Amino acid sequence: MASITRPPHAVVVPFPGQGHVNPLMHFAKILAARGFFVTFINTDRMEQRIFKTPNDSAAVSHQLLQQGLQIRFLAVYDGLPPDHGGVQAIDEYFLATQKLGPAMVRILRSTANEAPQITCIVTDCFMACTHHVATSLAVPRVVFWTYCASAAIALANSRTLMDKGYIPINVKEARRPENLITCLPGKIPPLIPTDLQTFFRVQDTADPMFQVIMYESEIQNEADYVLINVFEELEGPEAAEGLSKGYPALPIGPVFLPDFLQSTKSSVSVATSLWEEDLDCIKWLQTKALSSVLYVSFGSIAVMSMKQLQELALGLEASEQPFLWVLRPDIAEGKAAVLPEGFTERIGERGRIVQWAPQLKVLSHPSVGGFLTHNGWNSTLESISFGVPMIGWPLWAEQFHNCRFCKEVWKIGMDFESRVENENALVSREEVEMVVRAMMEGPQGNELRKNAARLKEAATKAVMAGGSSYRNLDKFTRDMTARANSVIE
């Protein structure tokens, strides 16, 4: 008998949104660099946004292979009409993803002769359909959390929180001491009800998104292995244990950072941005002083009212601070923003407005000294990794959790008090000016930058050889390689 080692084959399935495709694409490259064969499955809608022509995905796979990274891309039809609003019609979008399991099984079986035997399904935490895929193919289901550990624990235990009366959320009473949430597993700080998903703020439990998130939270626990896009030093080495039900639960992030730290001009970048990045803004940043620029971006999904965008603009103008502002074409509730009359002329070269920015390059630039952000986990973790303190402007999902933790737990952030009290409140230009000035030129901002610099160092150490995330990835690699191994005559 001769012993051979087969490469592990991970099927990686992101939720079809940029904030989920990005981290799972980074993780796919990490796995491929560790000897895995990776199949990356998108919906056809997302595939067409990322790869503009049918041949693009094959070309990228070939380029990756030239660097020794075996990643192939497959796509399944999402069942929605071409003109569907996607994540802007979020409940329909989620319900469509929950039906994708059989299509994924069919495409994996029909292409089985093109790849090694499947070792595991690495699934986004919001792709409940992969439970069917893993069961049908008799392989482990590895749940990849695109949240930090404490937010993930809260979501995975939604049923418990509902049974104890924390859900639906009473926002007005959330901060009362008697409403502190201390019943969750894992060693995490006490939560308040408004740290939980904003979809639970509706009072009608028959609400479609309320039901969608409750269902997803139950399937999130149907795992054989858990990986979290965070590093142990941020939340403590034992926080992740709250996501385990007898199987490993490992912090392995920030998953974007190894590739960023090791990137070269010759490395292959898989462009998952849904808008064209304005690279000229980097040249503009180079003209600004150290830590002087406020970066303003609300991610790939969030929208605001036109009135709120105008108040924000006037607050940035009044602050007299340099700023780089990402204004997506659909930021104003699906429409382009209309800025106050004369605004661009008045700010001149002090401000730069772009439709989309290369965020990693921006946050890592030495002229950036603060980040006004929606506090999505990707943006929050990237800001932490580059030592940039944040002004939180959370809008939905778990962003209120991330914002509060940045301010009260990790001591690297500020927020707007009006939004803490009422998520629908209009943040005035006066409050914007006051908070921006405090971040960019006040002693509090300087202290936050010092704290953020310490976390930047910890994040970098975590992903380097011997660091906590690196060691956890070693364990995952060993476990999956052992499963893939076979002995044949």
Phi, psi of 251 (to 5 degrees): -75, 125
Q: Which amino acid is at 279?
A: L
- Reduced to 3 states (helix: H, G, I; strand: E, B; else coil), residue 195 is helix
Please give the biggest Cα pair distance in the chain. Answer: 79
- Tell me whether residue 207 is one of the annotated catalytic residues: no
For residues 19 and 299, the answer to whether their CB atoms sit within 8 Å is yes
Query: Distance (Å, rounded) from C-alpha 102 to C-alpha 398?
Result: 30
CA angle 198, 221, 20 (to 5 degrees): 55
For residues 39 and 152, the answer to whether their CB atoms sit within 8 Å is no
Query: Distance (Å, rounded) from C-alpha 257 to C-alpha 234?
Result: 15
Query: Distance (Å, rounded) from C-alpha 25 to C-alpha 20?
Result: 9
Of the candidates 194, 154, 169, 209, the one whose C-alpha atom is nearest the C-alpha of residue 400 is 194
Name the E strands within 342-399: 351-354, 368-373, 390-392
Question: Among 20, 26, 131, 401, which one carries the catalytic annotation?
Answer: 20
CB-side neighbour CA atoms (13 Å) of 289: 6
Give the position of tokens 């803490």. Answer: 420
- Reduced to 3 states (helix: H, G, I; strand: E, B; else coil), residue 121 is strand
Judging by beta carbons within 10 Å of its beta carbon (0-12, 13-18, 19+), is residue 382 exposed, middle or buried? Answer: buried
> Which residues, in sequence order, are bridge partners of residue 63?
none
Kindly state the helix (H) or strand (E) to which residue 431 belongs, with its residue range. helix 429-441
- Tell me whether residue 124 is one of the annotated catalytic residues: yes
Query: Distance (Å, rounded) from C-alpha 295 to C-alpha 371?
Result: 5
Query: Distance (Å, rounded) from C-alpha 107 to C-alpha 74?
Result: 8
Question: Among 9, 26, 78, 124, which one carries the catalytic annotation?
Answer: 124
Query: Distance (Å, rounded) from C-alpha 27 to C-alpha 142?
Result: 13
Q: Which amino acid is at 252?
A: I
**Active centre residues (catalytic):** 20, 124
